[in-house]
């Protein structure tokens, strides 16, 4: 039996005013739909079965009435999501899919009406309970027994994915695509070494919440976690690779701004962001275990040393900031910004297979050196002091 062709979204539009606004998306077929709301900031989240989005490149950049902008994409296997950014508290009056008829395509329709903060919070409590239950199921990654096969486990984390495209170059090239291709190349280089087991937080165009990435690394007992990005920044003159390690105090305003942008990934994808507990804050104040932080800094320096001969570096190549994805207390973690899509020269390099291969080789050398030195230091610290009791 032939498989049913996936539904395709072909056009989206927003009509209405500041009292009542309608979102409409044309579909090639019928679809189920569910809707919930989130605050801080105000959002309406529309979940659908997996579908393809064939919309104009600038679709969703601006809105109208109660909707300031919207995003769309794959949120997890089998599920797509549309996130409507609301200008204030709203209520979902209706959400449904009209069947195709009278030469009109099937249409997703979401009607929003202006609401009050109190009324919004009342409906939010119901949405929050449901969303938390779903998130807990998706992100359940309880660490099991540590493997005993002698392999070193490296988790590669291609940033963004699915509904979260990350930075977008003027050409339309998306960060999520570039970093996934790079992570796959780096994995190939590393897997040539039989000592390594290489895992990836995502291997396709799906969205993974930030805490889910951290939980995955911890559950897999990772010896090293590398998050891979290619950001953008105001001013096209900024370019070059940068390696970030965790600190609650950013190196400078640029590092703080980039960390703040990356930490909004869950918000953009319509995922509720739990508040840090005092226990987590205490762990971070304690430098997420000094040993782990120190290992991360050593690794960052190794990467910079190996990249320097052949890869353009940012003028301050090692930076620190409070990236959520680096907050595993027991896994040395670093975030590698390969370059900046806001810079035309960097964009050319980031999309070059030759540059990708060269850079992946350099980072794999840095990983080799990091583990070689770490194993040697462990062996030295465990060896008996031959000078004690010597004749």
Q: How do the pLDDT tens digits run along the chain, 391 residues long?
A: 456 778 999 999 999 999 999 999 999 999 999 999 998 899 999 999 999 999 998 899 999 999 999 999 999 889 999 999 999 999 999 999 999 998 999 999 999 999 999 999 888 766 655 554 444 335 445 566 777 788 999 999 999 999 999 999 989 999 999 999 999 999 999 999 999 999 999 999 999 999 999 999 999 999 999 999 999 988 778 999 999 999 988 998 999 999 999 988 988 888 877 665 444 445 444 544 678 989 999 999 999 999 999 999 999 999 999 999 999 989 999 999 999 999 999 999 999 999 999 999 999 999 999 999 987 777 666 656 544 444 3
Q: Is-contact 81 163, C-beta < 8 A?
A: yes
Query: What pLDDT is recorded for position 153?
Result: 97
Q: Is-contact 39 123, C-beta < 8 A?
A: no
What spatial distance separates the first Cα and last Cα of the chain, rounded to whole Å? 84
Q: Is-contact 236 170, C-beta < 8 A?
A: no
Angstrom distance (rounded) from CA 247 to CA 176: 25
Q: Is 68 helix (H, G, I), strand (E, B) or coil?
A: strand
Query: What pLDDT is recorded for position 389?
Result: 44
Angstrom distance (rounded) from CA 221 to CA 239: 34
Query: What pLDDT is recorded for position 284?
Result: 45
Query: What pLDDT is recorded for position 137?
Result: 37
Rg (the chain; Cα; Å): 23
Count CA within 13 A, CB hemisphere, residue 125. 5
Angstrom distance (rounded) from CA 130 to CA 135: 9
Identify the structural domains of the chain with CATH numbers, from first to last. 8-139 (2.60.40.3500), 152-380 (3.40.630.40)
pLDDT tens profile 187-233? 999 999 999 999 999 999 999 999 999 999 999 999 999 999 999 98
Query: What pLDDT is recorded for position 277?
Result: 45
Angstrom distance (rounded) from CA 335 to CA 175: 14
Query: What pLDDT is recorded for position 288?
Result: 46
Block residue for tokens 């940033």: 159
Angstrom distance (rounded) from CA 66 to CA 167: 25
Query: What pLDDT is recorded for position 141?
Result: 57
Query: What pLDDT is recorded for position 274?
Result: 63
Angstrom distance (rounded) from CA 67 to CA 88: 9
Encoding tokens for residue 370?
Answer: 């990091």
Q: Calculate the dihedral angle through the C-alpha atoms of 211, 216, 218, 224, rounding to the nearest 10 degrees.
A: -100
pLDDT tens profile 256-291? 999 999 988 988 888 877 665 444 445 444 544 678
Q: What are phi and psi of 246, to 5 degrees?
A: -80, 135
Q: Is-contact 200 187, C-beta < 8 A?
A: yes
Q: What percent of the chain has pLDDT over 70?
A: 86
Block residue for tokens 């850079």: 359
């Amino acid at each position: 039996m032939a498989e049913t062709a996936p539904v395709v979204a072909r056009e989206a539009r927003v009509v209405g005013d500041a009292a009542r606004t309608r979102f409409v998306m044309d579909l090639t077929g019928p679809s189920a739909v569910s809707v919930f709301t989130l605050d801080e900031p105000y959002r309406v989240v529309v979940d659908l079965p997996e579908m393809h989005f064939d919309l104009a490149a600038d679709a969703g950049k601006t809105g109208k009435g109660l909707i300031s902008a919207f995003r769309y994409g794959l949120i997890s296997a089998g599920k797509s999501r549309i996130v409507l950014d609301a200008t204030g508290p709203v209520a979902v009056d209706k959400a449904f899919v009209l069947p195709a008829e009278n030469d009109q395509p099937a249409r997703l329709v979401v009607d929003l009406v202006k609401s009050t903060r109190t009324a919004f919070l009342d409906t939010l409590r119901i949405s929050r309970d449901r969303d938390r239950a779903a998130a807990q199921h998706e992100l359940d990654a309880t660490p099991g027994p540590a493997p005993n096969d002698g392999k070193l486990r490296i988790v590669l984390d291609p940033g963004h994915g699915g509904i979260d495209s990350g930075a977008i170059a003027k050409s339309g090239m998306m960060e999520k695509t570039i970093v996934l291709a790079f992570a796959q190349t780096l994995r190939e280089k590393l897997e040539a070494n039989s000592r390594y087991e290489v895992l990836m937080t995502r291997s396709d165009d799906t969205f993974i919440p930030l805490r889910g990435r951290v939980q995955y690394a911890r559950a897999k007992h990772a010896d090293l976690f590398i998050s891979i990005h290619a950001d953008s920044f105001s001013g096209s003159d900024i370019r070059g690779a940068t390696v970030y390690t965790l600190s609650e105090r950013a190196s400078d305003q640029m590092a703080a701004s980039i960390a703040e942008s990356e930490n909004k990934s869950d918000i953009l994808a319509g995922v509720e962001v739990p508040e840090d507990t005092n226990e987590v804050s205490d762990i971070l104040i304690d430098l997420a275990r000094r040993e782990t932080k120190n290992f991360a800094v050593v690794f960052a320096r190794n990467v910079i040393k190996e990249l320097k001969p052949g890869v353009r570096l940012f003028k301050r190549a090692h930076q620190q900031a409070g990236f959520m994805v680096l907050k595993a207390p027991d896994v040395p973690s670093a975030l590698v910004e390969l370059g900046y899509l806001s810079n035309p020269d960097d964009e050319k390099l980031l999309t070059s297979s030759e540059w990708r291969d060269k850079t992946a080789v350099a980072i794999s050398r840095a990983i080799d050196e990091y583990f070689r030195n770490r194993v040697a230091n462990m062996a030295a610290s465990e060896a008996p002091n031959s000078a004690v009791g010597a004749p």
